[in-house]
């Protein structure tokens, strides 16, 4: 993945770090940290808090973390490019449980296993990590867009939390 990224963007700085070990970065030096879907796959409260604590420590005083995560609803509905109808058990999942979802627009139709994490659990997780939510976005698709949206215009499959150090 890193090789591919460097090939596409030779000026970028791509690094692999050990889990939650941010020691190679200068503390309190970053304006923005973006995490896209990573926390859907970090399994426990302890591990999530460890990673978020490390990220909080990287932020400047006015710095922000943008955490893009899956909404619990994604695992119980159908979408233009995701399907969950084969996994009715997702409906009974609680925070910390495995949930399955198939990406329909790729060749590999094996289900992806994510970890369900409700909004209430995210609130507790951020609190434990010393982070405060500045904004929460649940963006919806627009009906006039040229895509065959299924539920995207009424349910947000993803949630975006903008966070600051508390
Ligand atoms: C759904 S993928 C998202 C990948 C990419 N950010 C994107 O948007 O396409 C989740 C990523 O989280 C990574 N991941 C899983 N556990 C992690 C952990 N404990 N710390 C950091 N990354 C982790 C996985 O390797 C995987 O690349």
Element (H, E) at 120: helix 119-128
What's the angle, vertex CA 48, arms to CA 64 and CA 21, rounded to 5?
80
| Predicted pLDDT of residue 80 | 98
Beta-sheet strand order (sheet of 158-165): 30-36, 59-70, 158-165, 131-137
User: By alpha-carbon position, which residue is closest to atom 13 of ligand 1?
Assistant: 38
pLDDT of residue 125: 98
The pLDDT, as a whole number, for residue 45 is: 98
> pTM of the entire structure?
0.95
Q: Which domains does the chain have, with CATH numbers?
A: 27-165 (3.40.50.150)
Give the residue whose CA is nearest to atom 15 of ligand 1: 41
How much distance in Å is there from the Cα of 15 to the middle of ligand 1? Answer: 14
Ligand 1 center to 87 CA (angstroms): 22
């Amino acid at each position: 993945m890193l090789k591919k990224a460097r090939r596409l963007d030779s000026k970028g700085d791509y690094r692999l770090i050990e889990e939650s070990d941010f020691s190679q970065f200068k503390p309190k030096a970053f304006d923005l940290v973006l995490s896209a879907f990573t926390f859907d796959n970090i399994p426990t409260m302890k591990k999530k808090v460890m990673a978020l604590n490390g990220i909080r420590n990287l932020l400047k005083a006015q710095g922000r973390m943008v955490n893009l995560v899956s909404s619990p609803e994604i695992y119980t509905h159908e979408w233009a490019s995701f399907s969950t109808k084969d996994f009715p058990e997702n409906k009974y999942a609680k925070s910390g449980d495995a949930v399955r979802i198939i990406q329909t627009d790729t060749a590999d139709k094996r289900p992806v296993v994510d970890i369900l994490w409700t909004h209430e659990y995210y609130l507790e997780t951020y609190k434990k990590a010393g982070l405060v939510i500045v904004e929460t976005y649940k963006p919806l698709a627009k009906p006039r867009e040229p895509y065959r949206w299924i539920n995207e215009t009424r349910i947000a499959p993803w949630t975006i939390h903008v966070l600051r150090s508390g």
